[in-house]
Amino acid sequence: MRIVLYSFLCVLCSFILTIPTASGQVKLPGNIRMPSGGGGGGSRGGGGQSILDDSTKNVYGPHSTLHFYEHDILNNRDSVRYRVDTGLTNFHRWMPMDKAWGKLVDLGNNVTATRSLFFQPREDIGTQLGLRVYDAYAIKQEDVAYVDTKSQHTELDFMSGPKKTSLGTFAYTQNVHSRFNFGIRATRLTSNKIYGFANSISSAALLGKNWTFLAHTSFFSKNKKYLILAHYRHLNMKVAEQGGVISNVDEAGVVDKYSYDGAARISDNANSWERRHVFHVYQQYRLLNGFQVFQQADFQSTIDHYTDLQLARGLEKGIYPDPKFSTEQTRQDIYYKLLDNKVGIKGFYEGFNYRAYVRQRFYGMRGGAQSKNETGDPYATYRTGLKFDNIIGAWLGYYLKDSVQYLTAEADLNLAKNVEYRLKGELNTRWGKAGFQSIQTAPDLLVQRYLNNHFDWRNNFDPTKVQTIFASLVLKTKKIEFVPEIQIHQINDYIYYDTAAVPRQLNAGFRLLRVGFNSGIHLNRWNFTTMGYLTLNDNKDVMRIPTAFASGEVTFDFVYAKVLFIQLGLAARYRSSYLADAYMPVTQQFHLQDSTTLAQNVVVDGFANVRIKRVRLFFKMSYLNQGGNFGLFPKGYYVTPNYLGLARSFSFGINWPMFD
């Protein structure tokens, strides 16, 4: 099947090369010439194809397929529109780890649990469920793009990578008329097991299966007084949990710590499954010029299961604590629902944008330990009951004429029993930005109450308080951009999972300092992009972050035969050694551990991004520096204790947009 698919892609590329089209040329920095219909950069711009006369077919293109985001509408920037991204830059970064430039940590393979390598304070108040390890694979509200297209637009993606990882995407948008648009996007992402007894056996070889689906629509009234945006987004994630790899030992007793063919620590009958549904609507009505009423509403549903039908292996290898109900199997069920409704007023006056609102949240969680049965086997259920938050908030922004420079201030207050609040101010200019945030958030529902075959806790923790100061400075010439930045966090009453994977609270405060930079150098066809961070932490007992981190790439762009646009590049990332958090699959939480220090490592990738007309392709070889005859680099590396990172591998992908 894969051979047939690869052959089809080759024929497709050849077909594209021979399609006669009317084309113009646009110039990009470095005197690189791009074909018609191609943008030169990100979603905010790029060169689009000019509209041609009725005698040609190429009337529509990136210039006629625009999109916008809800936060622009909310902030009274109704006319802001973005073009379709048709650039080559970063096209090879197709998985969450790559898109984050290595600032995410997973379990060594695609479609597994992830966490941020760095501390990120929350930016919203209101009690949350506490299941976040699959967030990187879900569609986020702020990423939903509403279309403003003058034609049909279809987009097809296919990516193939290591261990039979594959991603397929189908997206379609349509304008009913100039004020009414809708669209859908469906993506399927799968990967196979790196190690274990069933790493190459049909369906048993599957490690992760991910489905995401998005349906969205927008409508503006004829007089532009009323508008409504609505979408539905869905996540269906199923992962075969492996618990890490068991290192091979030869006859002489020598341990091979990089045993990519080793056995898994958990049986093949263990898996996590999570399904999310989110229905969202935003609407506003203009009563007077500069004055509107608006509403945002969400209904969310999350179902999460963990099952291990052969518990003995996980117990033997120390993955699970001692069982409470059954020594044969574990079953955990979590059900969560949330109704979040915000109603307010907003508008603008003499350069100022303002917003004030009332927000109500109704939510609840119920759980089950083991499965209900009529055979007398023990099981238990529990629930939080219906809870609610009453939140009031305000936002004020002052924008200069170019809308790039602005000053904002916002405040939120939760009037519930555990008082939550958020205060934030930020100044953005062309020379840099600076800001401050103070936030107090309630403990997650999972931290407060949890019960299953291995854990049982009830906690009444205090809210966590985080004060953050951040700043950056833009130092820029015609060809060089260097942006130093700093973040200072003061964290009090921090909640974490200890070495036994049980939640604890530190009833004290500690500081976290991160200094770093982002830089870019553009020399004709050569481009260098680099970022680096140094983190200083005065309490490594409860939070572990590598002291040094760097990530960057160098690319060379050129044109072959006037129609083939190529970007060749090398990318690398570095992380210093540290006591990385371990992963507990039952609770889906990363937790402290003191037994394994991950060695410092460097990973180097080589890639080529290509565009032919409007079709983009990439070819990538990951982990070029694995092993080597001279022993300069190790034979592998760990990204999470017991979880090996991917070995050297090849991947490729294609994106084919159609605009009519």
Q: CA–CA separation, 614 vs 659, rounded Å? A: 10
What is the DSSP pairing of strand 406-414 with strand 420-429? antiparallel
What is the SS3 assignment for 488?
strand
- Residue 141, pLDDT > 80, answer yes
Tokens coding 443: 């403990």
- Place 20 in a pLDDT band, splitting at 50, 70 and 90: very low
Q: CA–CA separation, 555 vs 571, rounded Å? A: 9
Return the closest-CA partner of residue 644 out of 57, 252, 109. 109
Tokens coding 249: 């030992």
Tokens coding 377: 């086997």
| Dihedral of alpha carbons 595, 600, 606, 607, sign | positive
Long-range contacts of 130-136 (CB under 8 A, 24+ apart): 130/444, 130/445, 130/446, 130/447, 130/589, 131/274, 131/302, 131/304, 131/334, 131/446, 131/588, 133/588, 133/589, 133/590, 134/235, 134/237, 134/274, 134/588, 136/96, 136/100, 136/104
Return the closest-CA partner of residue 482 out of 552, 531, 554, 429. 531
145-180 pLDDT, tens per residue?
A: 999 888 888 999 999 998 789 999 999 999 888 889
What is the SS3 assignment for 128?
coil
Query: Across residues 271-294, what is the average pLDDT?
Result: 94
**Residue carrying structure tokens 């600076």:** 434
Computed over every residue of the chain, the mean pLDDT equals 87
Please tell me the predicted confidence (pLDDT) of residue 199: 61
Biggest distance spanned by C-alpha atoms of the chain: 83
Q: CA–CA separation, 638 vs 597, rounded Å? A: 10
Please tell me the predicted confidence (pLDDT) of residue 468: 97
Return the closest-CA partner of residue 290 out of 79, 76, 80, 70. 76
- Residue 377, pLDDT > 50, answer yes
477-508 pLDDT, tens per residue?
A: 999 999 999 999 999 999 999 999 999 999 99
Residues 6+ apart with CB under 8 A from 137: 96, 111, 114, 189, 210, 212, 235, 237
- Residue 26, pLDDT > 70, answer no
92 φ/ψ angles, rounded to the nearest 5 degrees: -75, -10
Q: CA–CA separation, 394 vs 387, rounded Å? A: 24
Q: How does DSSP classify residue 191?
A: E
- Residue 331, pLDDT > 90, answer yes
Q: CA–CA separation, 297 vs 342, rounded Å? A: 6
Please tell me the predicted confidence (pLDDT) of residue 118: 96
- Place 198 in a pLDDT band, splitting at 50, 70 and 90: low
- Residue 399, pLDDT > 90, answer no
Please tell me the predicted confidence (pLDDT) of residue 23: 33
Q: CA–CA separation, 539 vs 559, rounded Å? A: 52
Instruction: Specify whether the CB–CB gap between 571 and 604 falls below 8 A.
Output: yes
**Residue carrying structure tokens 């010029």:** 289
Lowest-pLDDT choice from 199-213, 338-352, 443-457: 199-213
- Residue 632, pLDDT > 80, answer no
In the chain, the percentage of residues whose pLDDT exceeds 90 is 71
Q: CA–CA separation, 239 vs 211, rounded Å? A: 12
- Residue 56, pLDDT > 70, answer no
- Place 349 in a pLDDT band, splitting at 50, 70 and 90: confident
Query: Across residues 212-223, what is the average pLDDT?
Result: 94
28-43 pLDDT, tens per residue?
A: 333 333 333 333 333 3
Query: Across residues 127-134, what is the average pLDDT?
Result: 95
Q: CA–CA separation, 564 vs 104, rounded Å? A: 33
Long-range contacts of 598-601 (CB under 8 A, 24+ apart): 598/637, 598/638, 598/639, 598/641, 599/634, 599/637, 599/638, 600/574, 600/575, 600/576, 601/574, 601/575, 601/634, 601/637, 601/645
- Residue 403, pLDDT > 80, answer no
563-577 pLDDT, tens per residue?
A: 899 999 999 999 999
- Residue 404, pLDDT > 90, answer no
Return the closest-CA partner of residue 119 out of 519, 494, 532, 505. 494
Please tell me the predicted confidence (pLDDT) of residue 325: 92
Long-range contacts of 502-506 (CB under 8 A, 24+ apart): 502/455, 502/457, 503/447, 503/457, 503/459, 503/461, 504/542, 505/459, 505/461, 505/462, 506/539, 506/542
561-616 pLDDT, tens per residue?
A: 888 999 999 999 999 999 999 999 999 999 999 999 999 999 999 999 999 988 99
315-330 pLDDT, tens per residue?
A: 999 999 999 999 999 9
CA 22 to chain centre: 38
**Residue carrying structure tokens 């179902």:** 303
**Which residues, listed in sequence order, are joined to residue 488 by a DSSP beta bridge?**
469, 513
Tokens coding 401: 């004429």
Please tell me the predicted confidence (pLDDT) of residue 200: 61
What is the SS3 assignment for 323?
coil
Instruction: Specify whether the CB–CB gap between 365 and 335 falls below 8 A.
Output: yes
What are the distances in angstroms from CA 27 to CA 30, 38, 41, 205? 8, 11, 12, 47
- Place 629 in a pLDDT band, splitting at 50, 70 and 90: low
Q: How does DSSP classify residue 597?
A: P
- Place 254 in a pLDDT band, splitting at 50, 70 and 90: confident
Please tell me the predicted confidence (pLDDT) of residue 22: 32
If phi > 0 it is left, if psi is from -120 to 50 it is alpha, else beta; for residue 225 that is: alpha
Q: CA–CA separation, 407 vs 18, rounded Å? A: 52
Tokens coding 382: 């529990």
Question: Which domains are seen in the chain, by residue range?
Answer: 65-659 (2.40.170.20)
67-92 pLDDT, tens per residue?
A: 999 999 998 888 888 888 888 999 99
Please tell me the predicted confidence (pLDDT) of residue 60: 74
Radius of gyration in angstroms for the set of CA atoms belonging to the chain, rounded to a whole number: 26
Please tell me the predicted confidence (pLDDT) of residue 261: 85
Q: Of the spans 74-88, 237-251, 292-306, which averages the highest pLDDT?
A: 292-306
Higher per-residue pLDDT: 15 or 491 = 491
Q: How does DSSP classify residue 195?
A: S
**Residue carrying structure tokens 């990100």:** 42
Residues 6+ apart with CB under 8 A from 478: none
- Place 532 in a pLDDT band, splitting at 50, 70 and 90: very high
Return the closest-CA partner of residue 388 out of 357, 418, 362, 425. 362
